[in-house]
Homo-oligomer: A and B are copies of this chain.
Amino acid sequence: MRALVERLPAEDILFYADTARIPYGGKSKETVIRFSIENAIFLFEHSIKLLVVACNTATAHALDKLLQLFKIPVIGVIQPGSEKACQVSKSGKIAVLGTKGTIQSGAYREAILNKLSTAEVVSVACPLFVPLVEERYIDHPATRLIVKEYLKPVKEAQVDTILLGCTHYPILQRLIEEEMGPGVQIVDSAYTCAEKIAHTLAELQLENDQSQGTYRYFATDDPEKFRINGEDILGRRMENVALAPHPHR
């Protein structure tokens, strides 16, 4: 959202947060597909012109299905993130950190190898990162121990690039950098993804010509709690936050 607002200030954005049913990271492919379709249909009812799947687990499990089902362009976060990692890496040794669902799907590995067939990919599921970030255990000794444990295979593989394959992980970026030491680049998909969205809108001549877009937010659990956390992450006021109506929650 932050990357999109910066890159495409003229666009109207509807943000849908399924806070009643998160986290998706450990749930099955079938469930994540069902949730993703339900969430997409809510947005379609608001006449969106393009759908961004701004969640790595939902992209990993459900992007193919959404692309099959729906006519409007659908953009996930895995493709852009993988492209950026392949650009940045010199040695071709790339680590991917993500939820269980994202890692087990193999979606990042596949996207990286499609782009750079000689790449060596080390994939690590880091299921405790999301709850640690949500509890603001950002600079806690327990978090450092868990970072150290998860990154052990990454250090052993001597990668030069780490791809943060979950929206929460950039908040732990400094800890990850400290554990890895110098010489390792850390990439996330947000800005590359916003770039891809800009290209797609231009290509399809779908760009807005107004000067300033409007923003609306929907959450499936308590919208006030969502607004407080959201403003903290987004760094801007969120004016139009509403509870998503039944049955879309």
Residues of A within 8 A of B (CB): 19-21, 26-28, 30-31, 35, 127-128, 131-132, 134-135, 137, 140-143, 145-146, 149, 220-222, 225, 247, 249
Nearest CB in chain B to that of A223: its residue: B28
Residue in chain B with minimal CB distance to A129: B131
State the copy count for this chain: 2
Which residues of the other chain, B, contact A30 by a CB distance below 8 angstroms?
222
The answer to whether B128 touches A132, judged by C-beta atoms less than 8 angstroms apart, is: yes
A-B CB contact pairs (8 Å), 16 listed: A19-B27, A20-B21, A20-B35, A26-B134, A27-B222, A28-B221, A30-B222, A31-B220, A31-B249, A128-B132, A128-B135, A128-B137, A142-B142, A142-B143, A142-B145, A142-B146
A131 touches B142 (CB 8 A): no
For the complex, give the distance between the alpha carbons of A222 and B32 in Å. Answer: 11
Closest B residue, CB atoms, query A247: B247
A28-B142 contact given A128-B132, A131-B127, A135-B127, CB 8 Å threshold = no
Measured CB to CB, the closest approach of chain B to A125, in angstroms, equals 10
CA distance A107 to B145 in the complex (A): 34
List the B residue with the shortest CB-CB distance to A127.
B135
Chain B residues with CB under 8 Å of A142's CB are: 142-143, 145-146, 149
Given the contacts A145-B141, A247-B247, A222 and B28 also touching, CB distance less than 8 Å: yes
A21 contact set on B, CB distance < 8 A:
20-21
